[in-house]
Amino acid sequence: MTMSIDQLSGTNKRAAEILLANDRGGYTVPSAKLYPFQWNWDSALVALGFSVFDPDRAWQEVESLLSAQWDNGMVPHIIFWKEEKSYFPGPEQWGTKNIADTPPTSGITQPPVAATVIEHLLAEDINAHRDRAAKLLPKLDRWHQWFLDARDPEGRGVVANMHPWESGRDNLPDWDRPLSFIDTTGVGTYHRRDTDIVNKDERPKKDDYDHYMSLVKFGRDCNWDPQVIARDCPFWVAEPGMNAILRRAERDLITMARLLGHDDIATRATARLARLDAGFEALWSEAVGGYVTLDLRRNEHATALTSGSWLALFAGKVEKIRANKMAATLSRWLSSVKHGVPSFDPNHELFDSIRYWRGPVWAMINWMISTGLIEHGETELAERIRADTQALIDQSDYREYFCPVTGRGGGGTDFSWTASMSLYWSARPRGAGTPTDATIPMPNTLKPDTPKPDTTDQEAK
């Protein structure tokens, strides 16, 4: 049920006010000071929060995001809607201005949560939103096809990231070894603005950033040609988070396409999903006991789990023996920290409780993990994660992320996706249409007459 903002109270009202403060008219910035643009998966997830009190504005958010789709189908990870010199790396560093008939953008994408978000928006009132959803389905179809064409041209069934930023989880320890093979001698000098504002202990180190910028230079030098990138990019890594989110997105696209009579899209998405479901097996590590990152250039598995490992449960049905093993491991993680879910194994030597993605808790990842746990019958674990997330917000406000050990916030303040997740999770405790038992119909079936029940910002995310 949609509520007016005047009907919201307490933390919910404050969350809505953060979204409104970060609204730039059709798109929302992640955090006001150093994020003056639209970010891909931030924007999609922000739409969930808007849907609680302003459904029209929620649809505008995803429509704006998909309006910047490239001719080849990619939806970029940053859209530079206006000129702003204070941000680095900006349009000049990406060099994409003449590639597509869009505003200047970055040259990479991010996890495609948009289809899942749109499925949730549609389920709120199918008859009211049918036409808007129908206009977006072809864009989602083209984007999902781009992933397989550009990031899995060999047909292995797992899509690669050509840059850590493409994963959305920028500074994972998983990237350390693949990045170590990259030559950074041609990067030159540059000025990072994030460490002017944020405590440097919360941010990637200079060596990490040199490698990031080397990959930006590689993409710019080849004019972001997908064939050259797939053949020659020195960073070519598949990981469970991106692949799980894409698999979930395909399932949700199939649901919507069948409901709205787009049988051709449903057919293509079904074929893609079969390939992705089969390929996802390549990310399972029996030695580690979960789904892990795979360096496709060297055919090497990572040796530790991340919070993205549990997004396998969000992607679809996991066989019971594996799901039980994953739930047991997650329980051990949660017993090692005050708040879950840490973004990296808290018992690993590379765990860092406050440095970007090397340990902190992220609200939107928690929402996805909790959703997957509920769908696999692990309701107690799911509720623990929801309660942890709200406790972190109650303690440290709407920060970008949180220390799982102390609960203190890190990164940006008044952060849009944290506010959105808190608000949506409160209003829709089980999500829209989330099954309430351990059986997961794949894909879910919607029925038209049954609606689903301190000062910081940082740069490239």
What pLDDT, in 10s, does the model give residues 322-355? 999 999 999 999 999 999 999 999 999 999 999 9
Confidence of residue 65 (pLDDT cuts 50, 70, 90): very high
Mean pLDDT of 58-76: 97
402, pLDDT greater than 80: yes
More reliable by pLDDT, 412 or 194:
412
Cα–Cα distances (Å) from 346 to 73, 175, 343, 396, 451, in that order, read: 38, 17, 8, 21, 40
Q: Answer whether residue 74 shows pLDDT above 60.
A: yes
**DSSP track, 404-452:** TTT--EES-SS-HHHHHHHHHHHH-TT-TT--SSS---SS---BTTB--
pLDDT at 84 over 90: no
Q: Give the pairing of strands 401-402 and 409-410.
A: antiparallel
Confidence of residue 456 (pLDDT cuts 50, 70, 90): very low
CA-nearest of 392, 335, 341 to 365 is 341
Predicted confidence band at 188 (pLDDT cuts at 50, 70, 90)?
A: confident
Q: State how far the Cα of 454 lies from the Cα of 197, in Å rounded to an integer.
A: 10
Count the helix, strand and coil residues of the chain and give each as a percent rounded to the nearest 5. 50, 5, 45
| Confidence check: pLDDT of 262 > 90 | yes
Residue corresponding to tokens 């390549």: 282
- Sign for the CA dihedral angle at 15, 20, 24, 27 comes to positive
Q: Which residues are catalytic?
A: 170, 400
Distance CA 79, CA 343 (A): 26
Residue ranges in 82-125 assigned as alpha helix (H): 91-94, 114-124
pLDDT value of position 36: 83
β-bridge pairing 78-79 and 290-291: unpaired
- Centroid of chain to Cα 85: 26
Token duo for residue 226: 């997908």
Please state the rounded mean pLDDT for residues 223-242: 98
Q: What band does 66 get if pLDDT is binned at 50, 70 and 90?
A: very high
When pLDDT is averaged across residues 154-159 and rounded to a whole number, the result is: 98
Q: Has domain 23-322 been given CATH number 1.10.10.10?
A: no
Q: What is the pLDDT of residues 378-399, one digit of tens each?
A: 999 999 999 999 999 999 999 9
Q: What is the mean pLDDT of residues 32-36?
A: 78
Q: Where are the extended beta strands (E) located within 8-141? A: 38-39, 78-79
Contact 380, 330 (CB under 8 A): no
Best mean pLDDT range from 197-201, 337-341, 441-445: 337-341
- What pLDDT was estimated at residue 10? 87
Average the pLDDT over 244-257 and give the result. Answer: 98
Give mean pLDDT, residues 418-443: 62
Question: CA–CA separation, 448 vs 445, rounded Å?
Answer: 10
410 φ/ψ angles, rounded to the nearest 5 degrees: -140, 170
Segment 178-203 mean pLDDT: 82
pLDDT-based confidence at residue 449 (cuts at 50, 70, 90):
very low
Roughly how many angstroms between the first and final C-alpha of the chain, as a whole number?
33
- Does residue 68 surpass a pLDDT of 80? yes
pLDDT given for residue 447 in this prediction: 34
Per cent of the chain over pLDDT 90 is: 80
Please give the average per-residue pLDDT across 243-258, as a whole number. Answer: 98
* Close Cβ partners of 29 (under 8 Å, ≥ 6 residues apart): 22, 35, 36, 37, 38, 39, 416
Domain-wise residue ranges, the chain: 23-322
pLDDT reported for residue 194? 62
User: How far is C-alpha 112 from the chain's CA centre?
Assistant: 7
Which of 95-109, 250-264, 412-426 is predicted least confidently? 95-109
* Per-residue pLDDT band at 457 (split at 50, 70, 90): very low
Residue 1 banded pLDDT, cuts 50, 70, 90? low
By DSSP bridging, strand 237-238 and strand 78-79 are unpaired
pLDDT reported for residue 450: 33
Residues 294-313: tens digit of each pLDDT:
999 999 999 999 999 999 99
pLDDT at 346: 97
Phi-psi region of 26 (alpha: psi -120 to 50; beta: other; left: phi over 0): left
Say yes or no to pLDDT of 442 above 60: no
Average pLDDT over residues 316-320: 94
CB atoms within 10 A of CB 131: 9
pLDDT at 434 (0 to 100): 36
Those residues whose C-beta lies under 8 Å from the C-beta of residue 125, and which sit 6 or more positions away, are 55, 451
At residue 386, the 3 state secondary structure works out as: helix
